[in-house]
Structure 1
């Protein structure tokens, strides 16, 4: 894994999707990636994977020499299945059950607030542009909480998804998950390093006002109309 040539998407279309918990980022990114033949990277799963692995090592969510050493020793790569790129840490791909466990839900925001964790993943996340090019995709759609503000701040297609709390709680319940969306949003918005916020110039979409298909269509139409690479 090498440093990407550029974090600008002027020559290769990159879509950033930011937003709080359960605003529909993953479902939207998955649909957009399939329609446009873009690689899909879910950075939330990156933080979940590191949270799971660090907890397994008995490391608590606070800065320490033990945390830094564990992060430095991790070897990160990716496995591409269809349009989705999944994080591989030390040769292992975690299951959805591991990534969405109650223990991970309770600790992921605390780990994600730590600069060593964010710095370890920043270069890895930017590398997905090269991965998308290498695998022959037409672009990259990458979702998270600081993508349009920190990871790819110059991407021309930046969106911020939002929905009211009751809608998001219902979505988590329908997925069979216990996840305090308000508490996670507060933690992610209040952290000092790369806080959750709508990037300047990003297009806001209230996903509670539209069906999933309508949200996907809005984004695809915007990208197809404005991207020379897809003409």
Structure 2
């Protein structure tokens, strides 16, 4: 493997990025970085501090002093806020419903993109998942994937993950998240130039992983 290998996997919520990215990293013996968890951790930290998430200035003032640390082991991904393990609480409904507000603040994105680039730069090979990896965080990545699935499939997967009995409500929530992420002024969710679209609607997780591993192998 090239020491500069970066596999950028972008896509909307519920498309299967996390499971797929971890699987690809494991198959190829690469590091793994979940940038969504980083934004969730920042959101959790701001909520814990009682910051008004509708006040960008207050968000920035607090975010400047928050220390995030993300592990890169695909078999045991970790995320800490000021030394505290927050892997579980960042998956709460409150964080899920608030993370787009935090992610839309340009200064927050600057801080967290710098953190992500540090992790990428310190790795000999890494799979990075998010929404702006191929377009902003690592635009020179030799492999770029845009992972998609139709809205119903995404909603069913997310409802199964969260235990929600209402797939329709989950689909609506995902649509709102997509709207915010794709229309924000800074680093919106887009298919980056050169990204290969992988549609996982009718594929198993293993089939999606296999497809992406094939794309990586072909690019080497």
TM over 0.5: yes
Q: Is the CA contact (8 Å cut-off) linking 1:37 and 1:83 kept in structure 2?
A: no
Measure the CA separation in 2 of the matches of 1:176 and 1:83. Answer: 21
Gaps of 5+ in 2: 165-169
Q: Is the CA contact (8 Å cut-off) linking 1:17 and 1:158 kept in structure 2?
A: yes
Give the Å deviation of 1:206: 0.8
Distance 1:83 1:176, change over 3 A: closer
User: 2:128 maps to which residue?
Assistant: 142
TM-score by length of structure 2 reads 0.90
Matches within 5 A, 1:84-123: 84-96=76-88, 98-123=89-114
Residues 130-179 of structure 1, C-alpha deviations (whole Å, 9 max, x = no match)? 3323xxxxx10000000000000110100001111111110011112555
Residues 51-107 of structure 1, C-alpha deviations (whole Å, 9 max, x = no match)? 1110111112234443222111112333354555433221112032x1111111111
TM-score by length of structure 1 reads 0.86
Measure the CA separation in 2 of the matches of 1:123 and 1:63. Answer: 22
**Residue 159 (structure 2) pairs with residue 173 (structure 1):** yes
Give the Å deviation of 1:18: 0.4
Which secondary structure state, in structure 2, belongs to the residue aligned with residue 201 of structure 1? coil
Measure the CA separation in 2 of the matches of 1:78 and 1:167. Answer: 29
Residues 7-26 of structure 1, C-alpha deviations (whole Å, 9 max, x = no match)? xxx75110000000000100
Measure the CA separation in 2 of the matches of 1:42 and 1:49. Answer: 11
Gaps of 5+ in 1: 1-9, 134-138
Name the Cα RMSD after superposition. Answer: 1.9
Matches within 5 A, 1:42-53: 42-53=34-45
Distance 1:172 1:72, change over 3 A: same
**Residue 199 (structure 2) pairs with residue 196 (structure 1):** no
User: 1:3 maps to which residue?
Assistant: none
User: 2:123 maps to which residue?
Assistant: 132
Distance 1:186 1:82, change over 3 A: closer
Measure the CA separation in 1 of the matches of 2:57 and 2:219. Answer: 47
Give the Å deviation of 1:126: 0.7
Distance 1:82 1:162, change over 3 A: closer
Distance 1:45 1:83, change over 3 A: same
Give the Å deviation of 1:196: 0.5
Distance 1:31 1:91, change over 3 A: same
User: 2:200 maps to which residue?
Assistant: 207
Distance 1:226 1:82, change over 3 A: closer
